[in-house]
Amino acid sequence: MTAFQWITVPTLLALLLWDIWHFGRGPLTTGSRLLRMTLWLSAALAILRPDWVQRIAEWLGIGLGANLVLYLFALAFLWTSFFLYARIVRLRQDVTEVVRQLAMLRAERGGSGHGAAS
């Protein structure tokens, strides 16, 4: 094993164990936790056995294993970007709705909405 493998594989396995230990707890959904666990394990296997990545790349018609990894990261980046953008748009709509509801409540009560300190 190389020095890189000695450093990264135990780190990835520690992350995997952390997610296993915290499975079902915390803010992450079960699907998110499973995805993270799959990524940690896949990364560790790819680092330990780069020849497997090369074989998969060749089977898919991609020349190099490194290209396969690059393509997967590019697709993951695009998916994440679109996903987060959609979440931001949804949050913006939710905030607008909350502000609208607060304004209507204050208008019904006849208050100025500035509070007692004014």
pLDDT per residue of the chain (118 residues) written in tens, 0 to 9: 899 999 999 999 999 999 999 888 888 888 889 999 999 999 999 999 999 999 999 999 999 999 999 999 999 999 999 999 999 999 999 999 999 999 999 998 886 656 555 4
Its domain, for residue 21, covers 1-48
Give Cα 96 distance to the centre of its chain.
26
In order, the DSSP letters of 45-82 are: HHHH-HHHHHHHHHHTT-S-HHHHHHHHHHHHHHHHHH
**Residue 39 shares a structural domain with residue 75:** no
**Residue 39 shares a structural domain with residue 69:** no
8 Å CB contact between 19 and 36: yes
pTM beyond 0.75: no
**Residue 8 shares a structural domain with residue 39:** yes
Whether residue 104 lies inside any domain: the answer is yes
Number of domains in the chain: 2
Structure token digits, residue 81: 């970007």
Whether residue 117 lies inside any domain: the answer is no
**Residue 77 shares a structural domain with residue 37:** no
